[in-house]
């Protein structure tokens, strides 16, 4: 009877933990994987940096995607650039 107890107890504990997560009422964070992917993506982080600099200097919101070789990196850079550019404008008053 002891071996069954060793397998049954963790299974019950896991089931209760999963069930309590469903009853919490808060929606699951579905963007966690995307956020982690962006945080570890060099092209995306570079895009944020360059986007903020461009907005700070009053440049047009046009990402210099030629900095990256692959289509995937260019898309990541562009997404980061747009985010960085937009965040800078949202947090700073641009006077011209």
pLDDT digits (tens, 9 = 90+) for 32-62: 777 777 778 899 999 999 999 999 999 888 8
- Is pLDDT at 15 greater than 70 in this prediction? no
- Between CA 75 and CA 71 the distance in angstroms is 6
pLDDT of residue 16: 57
pLDDT of residue 72: 93
Q: What backbone torsions phi and psi does residue 9 show, to the nearest 5 degrees? A: -60, -50
Q: In whole numbers, what is the pLDDT of the chain averaged over residues?
A: 77
- Between CA 42 and CA 75 the distance in angstroms is 12
């Amino acid at each position: 009877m002891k071996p069954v107890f060793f397998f049954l107890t963790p299974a019950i504990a896991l089931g209760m933990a999963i069930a309590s997560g469903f009853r919490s009422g808060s929606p699951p964070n579905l963007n966690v994987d995307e956020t982690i992917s962006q945080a570890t993506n060099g092209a995306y982080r570079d895009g944020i940096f360059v986007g903020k600099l461009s907005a700070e200097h009053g440049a047009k919101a046009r990402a210099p995607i030629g900095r990256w070789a692959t289509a995937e990196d260019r898309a990541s850079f562009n997404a980061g650039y747009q985010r960085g550019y937009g965040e800078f404008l949202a947090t700073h008053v641009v006077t011209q």
